[in-house]
Chain A
Amino acid sequence: MHDTKSSIPVLECKDLCISYYTRGGEVPAVVDFNLTVMPGEAVGLVGESGCGKSTVALAIMRHMGRNGAITGGSIKFMGRDITSLSEEELRSIRGSQIAMVYQEPMASLNPSMRAGDQLNEVLMIHQDMNEQKARQRSMALLAKVRLPDPERIMLAYPHQLSGGQQQRVLIAMALLSNPKLLLLDEPTTALDVTVEAGIIELIKEISREFGTSMIYISHNLGLILETCHKVTVMYSGHAVETGSVKQVFDMMRHPYTRGLFDSIPLPGTDRISRPLVPIRGQLPLPADRPAGCSFSPRCDYFQKGRCDKPIPMLPIGGDPGHEARCVRHEEIDWSFRKGAGQSQEPMSIGGPVLEVEHMRKYYELKDHSIAAWYRGLGRRFVKANEKLDFVAREGETVAIVGESGCGKTTFAKVLMGLESASEGHVKIQGRDIANLPVQKRDPKLIGSLQLIFQNPFETLNPSHTVGSQVARVIKKFGVATKPDEIQRRMFEMFDLVKLPREFAYRKPRQLSGGQKQRIGIARAFGGKATVIVADEPVSALDVSVQAAITGLLTDIQRKKHTTMIFISHDLSVVRYLADRVVVMYLGHIMEQGTVDQVFAPPYHPYTEALLSAVPIADTSVKKKHIVLKGELPSPINPPPGCPFQTRCHRKIGEICETQMPPERDMGNGHHILCHLPEEVLRSMEPVIAFGRGGDEAKSPMRSQPATPVPVPGKG
């Protein structure tokens, strides 16, 4: 796969220390960091926000801004120390020998230049090519990154490309001058899962075909598993564990790595029988890192006198290449799994609370131009929701799954009264609210139907204390009227979301992301909510915090018998958290049923593709490989017949292009919208299966039977 015998490493960081200088003084961002990348090797850097992984990447590019500096150690690129290079020499390396792909593709492309010109520029500057030759090479690379119609892409401006296409253009740009080293900083975080799967496929191909060494930075362990050979886990500026992917994933020897794996919803975890275990406490600020092991305040294995001294990376005996920054790695019983057997009482599910019947939402687009009038396009509709039908019961969690543009947000808006439905009914406890705007709803109704937002950094008003924001909800929804009563209830909400009451006097910027989301939850439940719409409530949070927030949501839901509509694109979280799943595509419900029904065959082809696209951080999981082609069609002009036919890998022929598929009832409320004959659907193989690896005993993740997960339902 890769040639590790080759003499010199492409990149070698030795005892690297990086600091930022702020008002408060010097802040060490990365301390004592070692990394070796051999030719053709892909190394993953994984860790939560603030752990210093991006700082390492920027230091390798020597691009840290005015207030950052390398304070110790060396970075050798092809045997040459780049910490001592001049700006001039650096410029000749950046973009030609070392290339970087960033997270936000739209922000990385110049919006006022054609993609082709931006590509050619790289070659014309770094390799003195003339425009003609540069153009040829750019086109060839665009074809290499699997972009259809390179000719058209070359002439397109960035805004005319989709996110996935933009990221492919950027990867092509990075590869143009045959870099020795490619830095990928969360290259797929901003993309949809099925698009992400395509990019990951491409990255793997590049590593095979071009032999480019890569550093892949991500917070997603599943993606690291799919793309990398080696991995370094970072925590609070330190590398805490490093080794081959297999070593680290199957035989983790640092409590933090273990904590990370315990807090991600791998297949087999379940909020009732096997709840996730969050890492307690939170990341220390760089200024008050503890002496010695930086993880010690949050570690269950902390020992005074040993863990509070500086700890070097220690080799793991009998496992060459595997190192961990833990003095007790030989003493800890790694097969012990915290939280195992901590099963919870199942939810009691009551009668229907929310009923959606044939709901349709079209937005009207008016085009007053003469051309539009001439072609009869003066009035067009964005078909955001087409015939939604589903029911949510008391105490139940219904997940709405789909990629961006599938209409899930539009549905949430109708539910909240910010938009009104074009057709059909949305009933809350029997009362139709489909056409009742929020201004006309009474406070009690508004209070009973609340929203938890995706981004905790934006949902709280930065100018007001968080306590007053929770109190406002309590007052507004008429839960309490007297000031002292309001304050008492406000403190109760703080208790409910497990935040200390003193926090009420803080401004949002004084809270961490997880704490802000807790306030968001307190606010949503403040009005005695019976239905909560949670719009990706954990996707903006760090992995270890996600587990705490999902746990909290489950707890509150159990206590208050709340119905939760959980909107998400992350199937792992959905599998973990939901009772029933509604899969949406282009405004249509493609499949719905219980979690067990939807996550096991028979599948809708789209569900199948979604499931296969989700990266899973478990070396024993074998996935079927389905990569969707093409782009999401526009809801203004949806394809005729089945909405999914343009990208479907199981298309059976003309019928898909002409007729709307029938809604097949697969039994027990499991519905699939597909033309495939029932036998074909029933004979599908599961997408995810646990392989029978050799080192069964070593992997803590494999205490599950080797059956398809989850167990297929009765249908």
Chain B
Amino acid sequence: MTDQALPLPARRSSVEKLIKTVGLMRESRIGMFGLALVLFWLILALVAPILPLIPPLKQFSSHLLAWPLTEGPDGAYFWLGTDDLGRDLLSRLIWGARRVFIWAGLATLSAYTTGMFMGVAAGYLGGRWDDVLSFIGNLVMSFPLIVLYLIIIGRFGATPLNIIVAVTLATGPQVMRIVRGIVLDLKTRDYIAAAQVRGEQPLYIMLVELLPNARGPLIVDACLRMGYVTITIALLGYLGLGLPPPEPDWGSMINAAQKFGSFGANAMLWPAIAVSTMVLGLNMLADGLREISLRD
């Protein structure tokens, strides 16, 4: 034997890897703060059904637009007050987080899948493929986003599916650009040449050889993107194009409360804080991930 084993850690399961990554996160204060914010909302969203909350749809007509810490009719407290229909804000906020995670998550996933396939095809195949895909991407990106949303949702109705389609259309091309850039760099590597030399199909090269190596920057970008999508969904809700009522949704909560001017200030404040902290958390998490990935 001429070469001996490099001393290295034993193989770890993916759970251990995750714990290790979170451990690395401790090196970035920003990342830790972001992770805490995201986890705060995530855990609340997960445990919402078992929390002793007033049902989010239950209306108390005697307590419209109540202030925080108001005592309710059956002895329950409205910790954060109520909205214009007398529904508990705290409960709606937490149930709303659930909705945000589900729909923003699904929309991001959908945008990512589309963008990734388009990007890897444009980047790897080049030529006509690149011309056509990039043209489509540029065409969509040249549209003012709000107009795009208004057209799609205004025309086809505000259903969760349409929102996902709209977000995918708006975000997909942006993801495509990033993936295309990474792939343009990766495809010059020798392992791609090695795959070509052994006669691999382009689809195999794209999916097996290229995409796994793009995951680093894409994970960071996905965090940021999820933040933007959260804002977008809140924005759509605020514009009245959001997820259908009466299910709680942060954007439409703000929209509903703003009609009452200063009386609605309390009902408007909490969902606004929720959106901001959630997006801030995701952005900071992305920053932290980037920071630790740059360190050696």
Binding site for B on A (CB under 8 A): 22-23, 67, 278, 280-282, 285, 288, 416-418, 438-439, 441, 443, 446-447, 450-451, 453-455, 458-464, 473, 476-477, 498-500, 502-503, 505-506, 510-512, 514-515, 518, 523, 527, 545, 548
Contact = CB atoms under 8 A, between A and B. Distances in A.
Nearest to B211: A463
A691 to B, nearest CB: 34
Given A23-B296, A285-B7, A458-B191, A278 B196 contact: no
B190 A463 contact: no
A454 B193 CA distance: 12
B191 A460 contact: yes
A499 B196 CA distance: 26
B2 A548 contact: yes
Interface string B1-43: 1111111100100000000000000010000000000000000
B295 A23 contact: yes
Interface string B173-200: 0000000000000000111011011111
B192 to A, nearest CB: 8
A477 B198 contact: yes
B3 A443 contact: no
Contacts of A288: 7
B159 interface: no
A461 B1 contact: no
Given A22-B296, A23-B295, A439-B199, A505 B190 contact: no
B289 to A, nearest CB: 16
B200 A548 contact: no
B3 A514 contact: yes
Given A446-B197, A453-B190, 11 more contacts: A285-B7, A288-B7, A418-B197, A438-B199, A446-B198, A447-B198, A498-B3, A518-B3, A545-B3, A548-B2, A548-B3
A545 B4 CA distance: 12
16 contacts: A281-B2, A281-B3, A282-B3, A282-B6, A285-B6, A450-B197, A451-B194, A451-B197, A464-B208, A498-B3, A502-B5, A510-B6, A511-B6, A512-B6, A515-B3, A523-B194
Nearest to A449: B197
Nearest to A518: B3
Q: Which 4 pairs between the two chains have the least Cβ-Cβ distance?
A: A463-B212, A458-B190, A459-B190, A461-B191
Contacts of A443: 199
A473 B4 CA distance: 25
A556 to B, nearest CB: 14
Nearest to B202: A439
Given A446-B199, A477-B198, A510 B8 contact: yes
A81 to B, nearest CB: 30
B276 interface: no
Contacts of A418: 193, 196-197
Interface residue range, chain B: 20 to 34
Contacts of A23: 27, 295-296
Contacts of B1: 280, 498, 500
Nearest to B192: A461
A33 B55 CA distance: 73
B293 interface: no
Contacts of B191: 458-461
Given A453-B193, A463-B212, A510-B8, A280 B199 contact: no
Contact of B199 (A476, A512, A523): A476
A460 B190 CA distance: 8
A204 to B, nearest CB: 36
A281 B5 CA distance: 9
B248 to A, nearest CB: 41
Contacts of A518: 3
Contacts of B138: none
A403 B18 CA distance: 48
Nearest to A438: B199
Nearest to A497: B3
Instruction: Identify the interface centre among A458, A473, A502, A506: most chain B CB within 10 Å of its CB.
Output: A458
A459 B213 contact: no
Contacts of A446: 197-199
B5 A503 contact: yes
Nearest to A287: B7
A463 B213 contact: yes
A474 B3 CA distance: 24
A462 B213 contact: yes
B120 to A, nearest CB: 14
Contacts of B130: none
Nearest to A458: B190
B171 to A, nearest CB: 25
B209 interface: yes
A510 B3 CA distance: 13
